[in-house]
Amino acid sequence: MATANDRAVLQTIFNPSTPFGDIPGLDEEEEDVQEEGETFAPELLEQVRDLELQGVSAAESGDVSTALERFNEAIRLLPERASGYNNRAQALRLKGDVAGALRDLDTAIRLARGCGRAACQSFVQRGLIRRLQARDEDARRDFQRAARLGSAFARQQLVLLNPYSALCNQMLCEMLGRLRNPNSAGSD
């Protein structure tokens, strides 16, 4: 049985663009259902989750208008729950309403008080939007906050935003390539 450190070393060898020690699935958070159940009425929470699932399915099938309707209904029923705003932000972004998506992500972060899975997802989404807007410093801050909340994807984005890290990863890839195939080392 491999230890966590062994898996981290193997992950670095086979996927050198990921940060050392970043093992897929090791630090993924599961939604804290019990906490939400204590905060919101269980029947209402179940109804809202069902609406969100319908919205996600609609968005995945390309029906963004229906997705937005479902997310709007979920938010109307539980306006204090961050998840609905996260989902609607994604649908708004797909629709091309980046400003609306950013507003919803800010709301989700505020409602989640900057912690937990909902805030983590919001920071990642907002970081990606900011990266597309060439606002790399703002994106970096969002990815740092998401990484602190456990997002492996955010840590990967931080590596990509760091030119020194990217150069080190490139050199590591080249070195590993030469170690795997020593006969091609002189052909460069």
Which pLDDT does position 32 carry in this prediction?
45
Distances (CA, A) of 94 to 50, 57, 101, 115, 166: 21, 14, 9, 25, 29
Which pLDDT does position 178 carry in this prediction?
82
- The CATH homologous superfamily of the domain defined by 39-175: Tetratricopeptide repeat domain (1.25.40.10)
Instruction: Kindly list the domain boundaries of the chain, sorted by start residue.
Output: 39-175
Which pLDDT does position 160 carry in this prediction?
81
Predicted structure pTM score = 0.69
Which pLDDT does position 146 carry in this prediction?
94
Per-residue pLDDT of the chain in tens (188 residues, 90 and over written 9): 455 554 554 454 444 444 444 434 434 334 444 456 567 889 999 999 999 999 999 999 999 999 999 999 999 999 999 999 999 999 999 999 999 999 999 999 999 999 899 999 999 999 999 999 999 999 999 999 999 999 999 998 988 887 666 566 677 777 878 888 887 655 55
Helix 82-95 × helix 98-111 angle, to 10°? 170
Q: How far apart are CA 25 and CA 28, in angstroms?
A: 5
